[in-house]
Amino acid sequence: MEPKRIIVGVAGGIAAYKAATVVRQLTEAGHSVRVIPTESALRFVGAATFEALSGNPVHTGVWDDVHEVPHVRLGQEADLVVVAPATADLLARAVTGRADDLLTATLLTARCPVLLAPAMHTEMWFHPATVDNVATLRRRGAVVLEPASGRLTGADTGAGRLPEAEDITTFAQLLLARTDALPYDLAGVKALVTAGGTREPIDPVRFIGNRSSGKQGYAVARVMAQRGAEVTLIAGNTAGLIDPAGVEVVHIGSAAQLKDAVSKHAPDAHVLVMAAAVADFRPVTQATSKIKKGPESQGEPVIELTRTDDVLTGAVRARADGQLPNMRAIVGFAAETGDANGDVLFHARAKLARKGCDLLVVNAVGENRAFEVDNNDGWLLAADGTESALEHGPKTLMASRIADAIASFLGSGKG
């Protein structure tokens, strides 16, 4: 991505120390970062830290470098403004249009995307005043992330924890990559997303698996949650990915466990996104002890395989049979390669017809493509015959385009 000018605002909360990682990650990505803390923030992290990480001077008031008019110029010239943490006080001041320090003045003059990452105690997050302030900021076009749940200050736990730096910088990069705003358009939608590869045990040591990292499914869950959906994520092998903020995560191992989890959660869902890479086969029997290699005279071991249940087809069938009355959209994924019979899209179109889902996300797989990488591209096929290309970029960008398609499908009355 071409380097951009990013303002990182830091409000006065205990989570201010995490802003240092946000600044470092954005700087290492090649962007020009200017940190604007509040006076309260500097009680938690000194200006020298932010200056060292960003390579730019740090000021809090509108009276520094007056000849450069920073309270107007910084906002006007920025490509993105990120505030992390955004305290309840900062959100309230942003809503009322206060401009009594450099950060709020910058927010008032910025015409670029604004990303706010809240951090506060649970009671403050759910207070009607904060709820109204967040709704107002979202209505005005700002992206206000859902906070994570977990340990707060002292012994308190609950919603209101600052999302991890990786979450914040991921959405920062997404807002820079998109040419339009990230809407808050999935409020009230219950989404069930699957991600990662399944592992089918051979013995206590070995398994049949695949190369899926779970990154694309996690990106879909992360984006849909931040667009307002109530998301449950069923995660297989995901190589230690950080669970997305604001998402209920259910961890599973095998295809059978994934099927059971989908069967349990699908009846309440409006949308099912089957991004998991489910094994097509599993061993007929699982050895209770490790299969020994043994001498060559014993011959080669034989592992008999049987097909696993097709979870996606089962969900489509269950909806047709009236077992999923709330389900309005089912999205499948296809990782394909071309062969002598046809190219990637040929096989993908056949799979869409065979599976019967509403939308199918198609990836061409191969060396450094689709699996175990941070970027992706492909196509989106719809049951009505429409097809569109998904541009190359971060997997979160593809996830946002998939969410666009889901929102459009739900809004069109098809779902």
Which CATH number covers residue 18?
3.40.50.1950
Structural domain boundaries, residue 399: 190-413
Determine the Cα–Cα distance for residues 378 and 364; give it in Å rounded to an integer: 7
| pLDDT value of residue 258 | 97
Is residue 9 in a domain? yes
Active-site residue, from 210, 237, 363, 376: 210
Q: Which of 177, 212, 244 is the last residue of a domain?
A: 177
Asked whether residue 183 is assigned to any structural domain, the reply reads: no
Predicted confidence at residue 343, as pLDDT, reads 84
**What parts of the chain have a pLDDT lower than 70?**
1, 62-71, 366-372, 413-415
Q: Known binder of ligand: residue 207? A: no
Residues 9 and 119 in one domain: yes
User: Which residues neighbour 302 within 8 Å (Cβ) at sequence distance 6 or greater?
Assistant: none
pLDDT at res. 341: 79
- The CATH number that applies at residue 214 is 3.40.50.10300
Q: Which of 119, 152, 177 is the last residue of a domain?
A: 177
Determine whether the annotation assigns residue 351 to a binding site: yes
**Cβ within 8 Å of residue 48, ≥6 positions away:** none
If 0-12 CB within 10 Å is exposed, 13-18 middle and 19+ buried, where does residue 294 land?
A: exposed
Q: Is 281 annotated as a binding residue?
A: no
Same domain, 200 and 171: no
Q: Are residues 82 and 124 in the same domain?
A: yes
Q: Rounded to whole angstroms, how far apart are CA atoms 229 and 243? A: 16
- Note whether 235 and 214 are within 8 A (CB): yes
Which spans in 268-343 are helix H? 311-320
User: Is residue 40 included in any domain, yes or no?
Assistant: yes
Q: Is 210 an annotated catalytic residue?
A: yes
In a domain, 184, yes or no: no
Residue 199 pLDDT: 95
**How many domains are there within the chain?**
2
| 392 assigned to some structural domain | yes
Same domain membership, residue 135 and residue 25: yes
Q: Is 215 annotated as a binding residue?
A: no
44 three-state secondary structure: coil
Answer whether residue 259 is part of any domain: yes
79 in a structural domain: yes
Whether residue 248 sits in one domain with residue 101: no
Q: Do residue 172 and residue 196 come from a single domain?
A: no
Clarify whether residues 88 and 170 are in a common domain: yes
pLDDT at 36: 96
Looking at the structure, tell me whether residues 248 and 167 fall in a common domain: no
**Annotated binding-site residue? 280:** yes
Asked if 110 and 243 sit in the same domain, the reply is no
Please check whether residues 205 and 170 belong to one and the same domain. Answer: no
Same domain, 224 and 361: yes
Please report whether residue 77 resides in a domain.
Answer: yes
What is the SS3 string spanning 157-194? EEEEECCCHHHHHHHHHHHHHCCCCCCCCCCCCEEEEE
Given 133, 150, 177, which residue is the final one in a domain?
177
Record the pTM.
0.89
- The verdict on 106 and 212 lying in the same domain is no
pLDDT of residue 377: 85
